[in-house]
């Protein structure tokens, strides 16, 4: 049987990425689990002074991290400005940060450089300078057009900016643009979500992330649900939407490559792919995480603590070469090479017998999944729609049987 022709190809790069976390947003969404500080909670503050403080601390952390041989020796081909709301950064500040990165690390001239932003900032007068700086990918947290859902989640929105976002993005000189949608809001209907999706699909976006609303521990949303002041996510709606998305979006040439991510051919987010493909990445900024291939670190989720000693105060831990690998690699919806797992395991200080037993246990479970029609082994390994439908349970089972092998 000839190999199946895929409409979208996996990322082939094995280089590392750089993530920069910007901590500020206009107001913090109730569901948000990322470290961020809402400007509405700071009262009367000099934001320019805070921007300067952040930039100086970020450059100090870059200086510290770039002296670590495990990061200094890497070649990088993605840079990702996330947050928070990184589109609150002025273009001239982004320019200085990019120049500092290029001066301290080996960064490809054709790198993917992404800026994540919100509708209120992504206007033509802001997008054009970004393009001139070399930003070649912009992604916006649209989430929904429904004002009631946005208000319920304390999300800042301006009706005219939301209405003009996609026109501004797709008419800009930025070559790759995308948006995020969230579904499963309390009292949301399928029709509500369809309206959001239909509005987005009127425009030629290259990338679409579609996330189900989740209740993350310690968020305001979680506390509000316990108190009864907000309703829980609509899980039955989430199941219905999740199963229908691949076919719906595939009709518009947006193909699923990860559980929540869809792209046109050649438009996969290279940076995020590195997380799932288990590649090293440098993380800078308060609350940022980094990974050198074996060890993870997490910067303090506190501006004052991070600013006091950038790059010097963090939590470090060794990775788990079974749990961490499976939780990332098996999120990919495209064919993956199981040899990638063996490649990672070869770097572990395991006895050969343990490595072989774990590999055999993994392959036995993979073959069982294949026999049940949950994965396809014709091109290495790929989940089928039936497998993706209950993905979490399949990954848990893969982890369980592999760890049981001695």
Q: Do 333 and 203 sit in the same domain of this protein? A: no
Last residue of a domain, one of 276, 305, 337: 276
Q: In this predicted structure, what is the pLDDT of residue 101?
A: 98
Reply yes or no on whether the pLDDT at 3 is more than 70: no
Strands of 261-263's sheet in order across:
255-258, 261-263, 207-212, 176-183, 137-143, 106-117, 75-83, 16-22, 281-284, 289-291, 295-298, 315-318
Alpha carbon distances (Å) from 282 to 18, 68, 186, 232: 5, 11, 37, 35
pLDDT tier for residue 43 given thresholds of 50, 70 and 90? confident
The pLDDT, as a whole number, for residue 347 is 93
Q: How many angstroms separate the CA atoms of 290 and 272, rounded?
A: 13
- Residue 139 falls within a domain, yes or no? yes
Residue-level pLDDT at 313 = 74
Does 120 share its domain with 245?
A: yes
- Above pLDDT 90, what percent of the chain? 94
Residue count of the chain, please give it: 406
User: 203 and 340 in one domain?
Assistant: no
For residue 333, the 8-state DSSP code is -
| Phi, psi for 2 (deg, rounded to 5) | -65, 150
Is 169 a domain residue? Answer: yes
Cβ proximity of 137 and 114 under 8 Å: yes
Q: Does residue 254 share a domain with residue 115?
A: yes
Domain-ending residue, one of 276, 307, 330: 276
In this structure, is residue 304 part of a structural domain? no
* 3 in a structural domain: no
Residue 35 neighbours by CB under 8 Å, 6+ apart? 21, 23, 84, 286, 287, 301
Name the residue among 297, 267, 299, 262 with its Cα closest to residue 280: 297
Cα dihedral 124, 125, 128, 130, rounded to 10, equals -110
Residue 55, in any domain of the structure:
yes
In a shared domain, residues 213 and 333 = no
Question: Domain for residue 7, yes or no?
Answer: no
Q: Is the pLDDT of residue 1 over 70?
A: no
Q: Which residues have a Cβ under 8 Å from the Cβ of 134 and sit 6 or more positions away?
A: 98, 113
pLDDT band at 259 (very low <50, low <70, confident <90, very high): very high
Beta strand segments in 202-312, E: 207-212, 255-258, 261-263, 281-284, 289-291, 295-298
Quote the DSSP letter at residue 102.
H
Gap between the Cα atoms of 165 and 167, Å rounded: 6
The model's pLDDT over 56-104, given as tens digits with 9 standing for 90+, comes to 999 999 999 999 999 999 999 999 999 999 999 999 999 999 999 999 9
Residues 88 and 40: beta-carbon distance below 8 Å: no
- Which residue, chain included where needed, has tokens 């206009």? 26
Chain mean pLDDT for the chain: 96
Encode pLDDT of 167-191 as tens digits. Answer: 999 999 999 999 999 999 999 999 9
CATH classification at residue 91? 3.20.20.70
Q: Are residues 240 and 330 in the same domain?
A: no
Per-residue pLDDT at 4: 56
Residues 339, 246: one domain? Answer: no
* Lowest model confidence (mean pLDDT) among 101-115, 143-157, 305-319: 305-319
In the predicted structure, residue 247 carries a pLDDT above the cut 60? yes
Provide the 8-state DSSP code for 105.
S
Of 47, 45, 49, 42, residue with least CA distance to 28: 42
The number of distinct structural domains making up the chain is 2
Q: Are residues 237 and 150 in the same domain?
A: yes
What global pTM score does this model have? 0.96
Q: Check whether residue 142 and residue 248 sit in a common domain.
A: yes
HSE of 48, CA atoms in CB hemisphere, 13 A? 1
The model's pLDDT over 186-228, given as tens digits with 9 standing for 90+, comes to: 999 999 999 999 999 999 999 999 999 999 999 999 999 999 9
Report pLDDT digits (tens) over 284-304.
999 999 999 999 999 999 999
Phi and psi dihedrals of 8, rounded to 5? -140, 135
Domain carrying residue 201 = 16-276
Cα–Cα distance for residue pair 268/257, rounded to 1 Å: 8
Same structural domain, 259 and 325:
no
Contacts of 405 (CB under 8 A, 6+ apart): 354, 357, 358, 360, 361
Q: In whole angstroms, give the CA distance from residue 368 to residue 372.
A: 6
Task: Give the mean pLDDT of 394-401.
Answer: 98
Closest CA to 314 of 10, 48, 68: 68
Q: How far apart are CA 360 and CA 353, in angstroms?
A: 10
> 5: burial class by Cβ within 10 Å (0-12, 13-18, 19+)?
exposed
């Amino acid at each position: 049987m000839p190999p199946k022709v895929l409409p979208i190809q996996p990322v082939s790069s094995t280089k590392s990425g750089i993530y920069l976390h910007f901590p500020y947003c206009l107001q913090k969404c109730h569901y948000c689990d990322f470290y961020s500080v809402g400007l509405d909670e700071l009262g009367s503050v000099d934001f320019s002074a805070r921007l300067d403080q952040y930039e100086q601390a970020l450059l100090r952390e870059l200086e510290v991290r770039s002296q670590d041989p495990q990061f200094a020796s890497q070649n990088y081909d993605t840079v990702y400005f996330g947050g928070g709301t990184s589109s609150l950064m002025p273009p001239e500040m982004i320019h200085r940060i990019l120049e500092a990165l290029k001066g301290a690390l080996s960064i490809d001239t054709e790198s993917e450089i992404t800026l994540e932003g919100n509708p209120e900032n992504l206007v033509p007068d802001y997008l054009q300078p970004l393009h001139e700086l070399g930003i070649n990918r912009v992604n916006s947290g649209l989430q929904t057009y429904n004002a009631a859902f946005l208000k319920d989640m304390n999300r800042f929105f301006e009706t005219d900016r939301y209405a003009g976002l996609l026109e501004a993005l797709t008419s800009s000189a930025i070559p790759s643009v995308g948006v995020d949608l969230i579904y499963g809001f309390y009292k949301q209907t399928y029709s509500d979500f369809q309206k959001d999706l239909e509005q987005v699909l009127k425009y030629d976006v290259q990338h679409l992330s579609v996330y189900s609303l989740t209740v993350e521990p310690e968020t305001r949303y979680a506390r509000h649900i316990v108190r009864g002041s907000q309703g829980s996510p609509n899980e039955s709606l989430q199941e219905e939407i999740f199963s229908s998305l691949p076919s719906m979006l595939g009709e518009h040439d947006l193909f699923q490559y990860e559980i929540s991510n869809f792209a046109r051919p050649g438009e996969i987010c290279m940076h995020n792919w590195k997380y799932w493909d288990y590649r090293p990445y440098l993380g800078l900024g308060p609350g940022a995480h980094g990974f050198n291939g074996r060890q993870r670190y997490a910067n303090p989720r506190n501006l004052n603590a991070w600013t006091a000693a950038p790059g010097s105060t963090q939590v470090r831990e060794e990775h788990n070469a079974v749990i961490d690998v499976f939780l990332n690699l098996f999120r990919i919806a495209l064919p993956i090479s199981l040899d990638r797992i063996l490649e990672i395991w070869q770097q572990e200080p395991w006895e050969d017998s343990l490595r072989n037993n774990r590999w055999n246990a993994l392959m036995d479970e993979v073959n069982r999944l294949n026999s049940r029609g949950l994965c396809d082994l014709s091109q290495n390994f790929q989940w089928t729609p039936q497998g993706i439908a209950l993905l979490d349970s399949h990954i848990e089972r893969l982890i369980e049987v592999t760890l049981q092998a001695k």
